[in-house]
Structure 1
Amino acid sequence: HCEFCYYLDKLDQKTSYDTIKKRIDILHSYGIDEVDLSGGESSIHKDWFKILDYCNDKFKNISCLSNGSVFSNEKFLLKSKEHGLKEILFSLHGYNEEVHDDIVGRKNGWKKINKAIDLCNKHDIRVRINCTVYQKNYSGLIAYADIIKKIKPFQVNFLTLNYWDDNKTFEPIDDYNKLTDNIKRCIDLIVDDVKYINVRYTPYCFMKGYEKYVCNQYQHVYDVYDWNKEIYDYDIDVTKTYTHNQKIELGYAKARHDRLTDYKKSLACFKCKYFYICDGIEKQLDMEVYPQPGDKIRDVNHYRKDFYL
């Protein structure tokens, strides 16, 4: 029930077990060996354990996205682990109970997600964190850092608010400079406690000195711990066999499509060294950009070549 959810108007829609199996088969046929289950909240599906079992026969690693509600039940968490669940990507958006519960629209959301995270750490289930950053929480990212330092998750993803799908008309960010400055301060505080940190879908000119953390559309193609862009829509012919380079090309085509669909660049961007590797700003936003002088960088992994070493 997060107010910025891409699927807020579709939460009453349920995907059948047979449809989920078909999607799993497509992913497996394409050669994917790790799967991330999402929903909304995939763990509340009535066939949750059957889904895990079906995935467990095909993938070496199963993870899911969660608000933590059902995984705050230790028995449910342990049963999920027995059926193959190895990691959970938690949506932890608030820096205290009041803010978090307001964002997720759920009373006791803060208590449940923190209990679920503690249980995961207790039972050796890998913890990753998503934090959507916008007006309601960017001012509290210093306090958020203290929470992250205690959790010590494997990965933290800061997602500056995306205006996608059902979220296209959401209120624009009020001060993008303050937002990204606070993300950078938070990174400085947690960098020794988190293995991987990403700042997703953010213009490079706001992240000067922190470019290696930026993961935009084209960087996403190489992101080890996120979804394969090219198969989002399940429309690839999986009767064919694809080489690694062919899969990269398909990922590039999807990244290009998404960039052209959702983003824009001002005339000032054409003078910037980040021009080719940066998505620009989302079409719903109207804000100043800060072009950086220098030769234009063409390698989308210029700042992330050693990121996963």
Structure 2
Amino acid sequence: MVHYIIGFPWETPADVNATLEMAWELFEKYEAFPAVQYATPLPGTKLWTMCHEMGLPFNADGGARFQHEPSFVPPGIPDGWLQKAKGALDLKLHAASQRKVIINITYECINHCLFCAVGNRVRKGIPFPRLQEILKEHRAKGIEALDIDGGEPTLHPDLYKTLEYAKELGYRRINVTTNGRRLKDPAEARQLLATGITSMSISLHGDTAQLHDLLTGVPGSFDETIHGIQNCLNNLGIGQDFAVNVTVVRQNVEHLLSLVSLIYGMGVRKLNIQFLTPFGNAQRNLLPGQDMTPVIQVLDKFGDKMAINVVNGLFCQLPGYESFLAGDVQKLGRTMVFVTDEEVNLFDYLGARRHKKEVCKSCAWSVVCEGFFEFQEGPSDV
């Protein structure tokens, strides 16, 4: 364990962030757990004298406040900033311990989404014997959470065998992410839910057939996905969780409130609002812009009615709504396995395409954020 102190009278936000970044770096390299304390003036210390000389009001009963709250506000740091920054590091440390393996079992898909993150990959799947090896390998590391993704996982011929095998190995939390189209058949939905998965996520990107089908590139996909969602909701077992994923792009951002209203009206109570990442088909021309009003409208109206996670967003874009982004830090503990057998830490993989700007140095969330995504330019007529 290494002790760090933040919030001295002379420090700026950039100074504090440098300390927290060092604390995280040493934890990553050497597993030296950081114990972060606030600078606390105690009688007889130079800090006590300095605070008096600077006229800084402080709580004299500081002994019990070391790790809980600042005794004073440094002149160069906004009130409340230190607590956010320390909380960000605590959040990151917790996230690193919540381990999960995500397996893209196939890149085959029956949609052709404009923004697909794996749309440029060879459309093939992982053979079942290799899936068994991957599952055993990560279970042996103590991982109990599994996410089956794609492409479209329901197209894999051994999906059900894979899920049953994962359950036999002792995976306690198993999720399947799908576009839901094949679940338009109630029997398919019942069969998938009966494998013992603990949760399922279905992607819906438009509030109308015209919009959703435009984004997926497949006429009729909206109706099939809607039926898939309803069939899953009708057949959920005790303790099974269900969510809808919405990817926000230029074409649907103004329809977001209407889309979430539709989802809520169907009985869905968990929502993932996903921003684009610069992989696969996603390019700059698909970005929804900097105005977060449509997202804020959803959070204001449904934030206390649904469990909402904002995925791949930036804390600085949604001040006051940071709690909706906090879950995204969980990527720190997630290993993603591609069809090609490549394995990456999801947080690092995404972070490689992000960069920090000058403004990031003074952001209270800097230690848990890798900065802004770098997108390639795309054709203007998409």
Q: TM-score range by the shorter chain?
A: 0.7 to 0.9
Which runs of structure 2 are paired with 1:126-205 in the superposition (5 Å)? 126-164=241-279, 166-167=280-281, 169-171=283-285, 173=287, 175-177=289-291, 180-194=292-306, 196-205=307-316
Residues 3 and 105 of structure 1 are in contact (CA less than 8 Å); yes or no, is this contact kept in structure 2? yes
* Structure 1 length-normalised TM: 0.75
Residues 173 and 198 of structure 2 are in contact (CA less than 8 Å); yes or no, is this contact kept in structure 1? yes
Amino acid at match of 2:281: N
Residues 283 and 376 of structure 2 are in contact (CA less than 8 Å); yes or no, is this contact kept in structure 1? no
Residues 269 and 275 of structure 1 are in contact (CA less than 8 Å); yes or no, is this contact kept in structure 2? yes
Provide closer, same or farther for how the CA distance between residues 94 and 60 of structure 1 changes in structure 2, counting only shifts above 3 A.
same
Q: Distance in 2 between matches of 1:130 and 1:89?
A: 7
Q: Does 1:271 align with 2:362?
A: yes
Q: Does 1:105 align with 2:196?
A: no
| 121, 124, 136: which one aligns with 1:13 | 124
Q: Distance in 2 between matches of 1:9 and 1:256?
A: 21
Cα shift readout 1:276-298 (whole Å, capped 9, x = no counterpart)? 33332112289xxxxxxxxxxxx
Please name the residue that 1:262 is paired with: 353
Amino acid at match of 1:88: M
Q: Distance in 2 between matches of 1:10 and 1:45?
A: 16
Residues 41 and 66 of structure 1 are in contact (CA less than 8 Å); yes or no, is this contact kept in structure 2? yes
Q: Distance in 2 between matches of 1:31 and 1:12?
A: 31
Provide closer, same or farther for how the CA distance between residues 110 and 171 of structure 1 changes in structure 2, counting only shifts above 3 A.
same
Q: CA deviation at 1:272?
A: 2.9
Q: Distance in 2 between matches of 1:103 and 1:258?
A: 23
Cα shift readout 1:131-168 (whole Å, capped 9, x = no counterpart)? 1101011010121121122134342111111112x236
Residues 248 and 288 of structure 2 are in contact (CA less than 8 Å); yes or no, is this contact kept in structure 1? no
Q: Does 1:55 align with 2:173?
A: no
Please name the residue that 2:375 is paired with: 284
Stretches of structure 2 that go unaligned for 5 or more consecutive residues are: 1-111, 378-382
Amino acid at match of 1:127: F
Percent of residue pairs bearing the same amino acid type? 20
Cα shift readout 1:41-74 (whole Å, capped 9, x = no counterpart)? 1111112222222122122333211111111111
Q: Secondary structure at the match of 1:102?
A: helix
Residues 164 and 195 of structure 2 are in contact (CA less than 8 Å); yes or no, is this contact kept in structure 1? yes
Q: Distance in 2 between matches of 1:18 and 1:39?
A: 18
Which of 1 and 2 has higher RCO (CA within 8 Å, sep 6+)?
Answer: 2
Residues 66 and 91 of structure 1 are in contact (CA less than 8 Å); yes or no, is this contact kept in structure 2? yes
* Structure 2 length-normalised TM: 0.62
Amino acid at match of 1:208: P
Runs of 4+ aligned structure 1 residues displaced above 6 Å come to 233-236
Cα shift readout 1:82-128 (whole Å, capped 9, x = no counterpart)? 33234321111112111111111122111111111111111125321
Count of aligned pairs: 260
Q: Distance in 1 between matches of 2:366 and 2:194?
A: 47
Stretches of structure 1 that go unaligned for 5 or more consecutive residues are: 222-227, 237-249, 287-309
Q: CA deviation at 1:185?
A: 0.6
Supply the RMSD in Å over aligned alpha carbons. Answer: 2.6
Provide closer, same or farther for how the CA distance between residues 174 and 143 of structure 1 changes in structure 2, counting only shifts above 3 A.
closer
Q: Secondary structure at the match of 1:4?
A: coil
Q: Secondary structure at the match of 2:207?
A: coil
Query: Bigger radius of gyration, 1 or 2?
Result: 2
Q: Distance in 2 between matches of 1:79 and 1:101?
A: 26
